[in-house]
Amino acid sequence: MDKLIYTAFQSINNALDNKAIRTQNMASTNTPGFKADMQVGGAGSGYLEQFDTLYTRAFPIVDSASAFISAPGQMRQTGQDLDIAIRGNGFFLAQKEGTTPFLTRRGDMQINNQNILTNAASEVILSDAGAPIEVPAHRKMTISDNGNISIEPINSPPGTIVEVATIGLTLGGEEPLVKSIDGRIRTKNGGIPAADQQPRITQGFIEESNVNMIEELVGSIEEQRRYEVNVKMIKSAESIDQSGSSLLRMPS
């Protein structure tokens, strides 16, 4: 009976976790390039039993990494030179201060005070060599479909074109990709694949998140029902246990 109760408790925890994931997805609907997290599917309960005792130890089995929906989001035209989007599959190489490199689809680029190319989340965009990209002051900037950044420097003759760097791009490699505990996309071992420059990008567009708001709302209702069903299961187990105890107390 205790295993039934612990399993129901774990199912309740999964329902609460899934509801938190759906809430996070809905909150990130307007985040460019956001990939919706997938609900918990691999969590469960484990048991340790000791011989010749009545004690059973139950514990949850969880994974700190989580899967995500990789489908591309809708493309929105902005006309801004610093807005870029990946067509089809692929990722930008990026890094945040204090973290290991990761992959991202967020393409609302900007140039910070140190002339370093970042996105609007202040994540540094890396080159095909894995280094930060420095963009000198310029009159015009062009980003080709393979990630080459060319500028027309200030104080240079009109028509002068200088290639600055190449944005690091990758299809993701052969190793499965997951979201690490910090919510960023990496391989299961915590690294990132090398740049292969196979994806193609479009300047003047932004990729929106791939969150399906209707599915998330419907899923939240289902998780609430799942929670209520498991609470009833725990109450039923309690009632069965009490009935069994009453039978044991009956006089012989």
CA atoms within 13 A on the CB side of 65: 14
Distance between CA atoms of residues 132 and 157, nearest Å: 27
CB 140 within 8 A of CB 151: yes
Question: Residue 251 pLDDT more than 70?
Answer: no
- The CA-based angle 149-174-129, given to 5 degrees, is 30
> pTM to 2 decimals?
0.78
The model's pLDDT over 204-230, given as tens digits with 9 standing for 90+, comes to 999 999 999 999 999 888 888 888 888
92 and 200 inside one domain: yes
Question: Residue 166 pLDDT more than 80?
Answer: yes
The whole-angstrom distance between residue 167's C-alpha and the CA centroid of its chain comes to 21
12 and 48 inside one domain: yes
63 and 139 inside one domain: no
48 and 156 inside one domain: no
84 and 200 inside one domain: yes
pLDDT higher at 17 or 144: 144
115 and 88 inside one domain: yes
23 and 80 inside one domain: no
The model's pLDDT over 90-145, given as tens digits with 9 standing for 90+, comes to 999 999 988 999 999 999 999 999 999 999 999 999 999 999 999 999 999 999 99
End-to-end CA distance of the chain: 25
57 and 83 inside one domain: no
CB 56 within 8 A of CB 48: yes
198 and 83 inside one domain: yes
The model's pLDDT over 43-97, given as tens digits with 9 standing for 90+, comes to 555 556 555 555 555 555 555 567 899 999 999 999 999 999 999 999 999 999 8
Any idea how long the chain is? 252
17 and 134 inside one domain: no
Question: What was the pLDDT predicted at 181?
Answer: 87
How many domains does one find in the chain?
2
Question: What was the pLDDT predicted at 248?
Answer: 63
Question: Residue 184 pLDDT more than 80?
Answer: yes
Beta strands in the chain (DSSP E): 44-49, 56-61, 75-77, 84-87, 91-95, 102-104, 109-111, 117-119, 124-125, 138-143, 148-153, 162-166, 169-170, 177-179, 185-187, 200-203, 205-207
**Which residue range forms the structural domain that includes residue 142?**
75-207
Q: Say which residues have a Cβ less than 8 Å from residue 139's Cβ, sequence separation at least 6.
A: 151, 152, 153, 154
Distance between CA atoms of residues 102 and 177, nearest Å: 10
CB 192 within 8 A of CB 179: no
Other Cβ atoms less than 10 A from the Cβ of 212: the count is: 16
